[in-house]
Amino acid sequence: MNIVATTSETPPLQAPTGFPPEYFQNREMSLLAFNRRVLWQAKNPRTPLLERLRFLCIVSSNLDEFFEIREAGIKEQLKLNSVAITTDGKTAREVYQLVCEEVHAIVREQYALLNEEVLPQLAAEGIRFLKRADWNVEQREWIREFFFREVMPVITPIGLDPSHPFPRVLNKSLNFAVELEGRDAFGRSSGAAIVQAPRVLPRVIRLPRELGSSEYSFVFLSSILHEFVHELFAGMKVLGCYQFRVTRNSDLFVDEEEVKNLRAKIQGELPQRHFGDAVRLEVANSCSEAMTQFLLGQFNLTETDLYRVAGPVNLVRLMQVPDWVVRQDLKFQPFTPGVPKALQKCQSVFDGIRGGDILLHHPYQSFNPVIEMLEQSAVDPQVVAIKMTVYRTGTDSVLMQSLLRAAQNGKEVTVVVELMARFDEEANIGWATKLEEVGAHVVYGVFGYKVHAKMLMVVRREESNGGGSVLRRYVHLGTGNYHPKTARLYSDFGLLTCNEEICADTNEVFKQLTGLGRAQTLTHLWQAPFTLQPNVVAAIRAEAEAARAGKRSRIIAKMNSLLEPETIATLYEASQAGVKVDLIVRGVCGLRAGVKGLSDNINVRSIIGRQLEHHRVFYFYAGGEEKVYLSSADWMERNFFRRIELAFPVLDRKLKRRVMSEGLQIYLSDNALAWELGPDGTYHQKRGSRTSPHSSQAELIELLKG
């Protein structure tokens, strides 16, 4: 949350930028507005049916993280009686109330859409989720056998009494509160029990085809437990069984003054993430009032934190269903990513790069060249060293396997592993351990600054023109993670180059991360936390100066989030000077667009479609030089000041034109996936004519696919 320190006696009248609070949008509400745009994809009848289900799951996944991090932060402020206010002038209490009202509304719409449209339409297509009342005799018998064979052996019901207090409930786990009547074998009659569903159990079970009344018949684990829960309490009467789920604060806190070994400290903290303070309780809408109040009391939550849902309490577990169903007519049409011509006829990636810089536009172009660059480096006798940053790469990464192989083959391998990559800490610790075991140099960057820059450098000994040998550096810089799976889903740019100046800059950043010394001046790269924000602000101001002098000016920028107050204030000043500013901001935007006298010349749009828009592209007219930068950083305080980030220029004129066309102009022409931000802070869908719709993502698929 962007906050401004203050006291209860003297609340500030304006943010440090000099602009009053009403000129800024609230971060949390803007993030929820993004989730409404995602929810609209599930509502849109033009979205393929199974993809509509997937978008519903994405909303749930997004809201989970919202509560684990953002809402948890708000509640921490409330607990500390914080008097800080947000950049838009709100207290934590005001934000909390606004957020809860909006999330309740989103969840109601989400489940109404699931139950009234998506599930009935799936059933009409032969994809059914069977309720208990729908089971026929054969199905019930199969499910009963499944319960006794697969479910009952791994479940431990916990009766609540003085000897069995309320159990520790894992973050986001599926649980059942059971109301009971009668006495057990020991004469106990507590009247309540908790059944925790182990995570090893699938939440959705497909019935054998011969038992289904349709091609695909699924049953929820919650339905099975409801039906047979009485088997867990022999001789007692089950009065009610209600599924529930609690979401907990999942942010890790590591005190710099107490840390001696960062990896050991994080490993010690990770298990506690599952048991942080509760921030949300989800229950079935059939849950009795008495049990609801009991659960709220156990988790120290209020009615405001309670979400009654008409269906599974965890829709994220339905995310795999579209993958299980072989119905391509109900999904987005697949495409094969293309490969740049410069690499199609080369024996090695290095041959292609020596011929000139290569631009990769994922997912429309393949991520394989990056994978091949590492695979070839691991076995190439001419490669002497590899350096790489790792932020998110996954638990099963071919890139990490190549690094392991390279170290085993005697290459000098240096990996900067970010241990504080949220929700990827455990995977990154695992890779760090494996890399160290084979002799790679593993470092964890600079404590207090997340290493978010995406850099890969390969040093190769090659023949020189004079007949001797020379060390040549090859570099990959990207806007997205080294994660092959997300590279098929997220839109990102990557640059392959052996430009000596860019390679020297990259090497200098690696030196900072692995060693000690003062920051050196870089020739081309803008680096956070040193020069990135000042250079962005300076570039915006230069456009404003040009506009005041009557010269041509222009700013176009694409990013995930825009929040940093000084940057927003500078954009306002540029607009007032007459600079035309187009911003393509997928998610959170703290700027108000099109406000008379403030931001008349600023247009903000958000693109929501089948791919997650992830690349960051910055364009400045710059007196006709047309500077284009690609970056790992959003325009946020954390990226500018608390992370190590890079923005790198596209120097090749042909590639620069490609970035301007594929990364900016095509999105400004979009009238199918685009939402425009109005002066009142709400988004409106940009609607094009039926005769000439422009979907940026569809057009990029056609342009770049293999």
Return binding residues for ATP.
62, 490, 586, 614
Bridge partners of 603, per DSSP, are: 582
Neighbouring C-alpha atoms within 13 Å toward the C-beta of 308: 10
Give the containing element (helix H, strand E) for 640. helix 637-641
Residue 133 DSSP one-character state: G
Burial category of 185 from C-beta neighbours within 10 Å (exposed 0-12, middle 13-18, buried 19 and up): exposed
Backbone φ and ψ for 626, nearest 5 degrees, come out as 50, 75
CA 79 → CA 27, 83, 93, 220, 324, distances in Å?
20, 11, 10, 37, 44
User: What letter represents residue 633's amino acid?
Assistant: A
Q: Are 578 and 548 in contact (CB under 8 A)?
A: yes
Neighbours of 5 (CB within 10 A): 10
**CA–CA separation, 542 and 549 (whole Å):** 11
One of 362, 452, 476, 483 is an active-site residue; which one? 452
**CA–CA separation, 679 and 682 (whole Å):** 7
Sequential DSSP letters for 603-638: EEEEE-SSSEE--EEEEE-GGGT-EEEEES--BSHH
Give the containing element (helix H, strand E) for 321. helix 321-324
Bridge partners of 685, per DSSP, are: 675
User: What letter represents residue 256's amino acid?
Assistant: E
Neighbours of 277 (CB within 10 A): 13
Bridge partners of 242, per DSSP, are: 177
Q: Are 204 and 179 in contact (CB under 8 A)?
A: no
**CA–CA separation, 34 and 369 (whole Å):** 33
**CA–CA separation, 642 and 105 (whole Å):** 34
Bridge partners of 35, per DSSP, are: none
CA 630 → CA 85, 109, 306, 418, 656, distances in Å?
33, 37, 42, 21, 10
Backbone φ and ψ for 191, nearest 5 degrees, come out as 85, -5
Sequential DSSP letters for 146-183: HIIIIIGGG--EEE-BTTBPPPPPPTT--EEEEEEES-
Active site residue 615: no
* Active-site residue list: 452
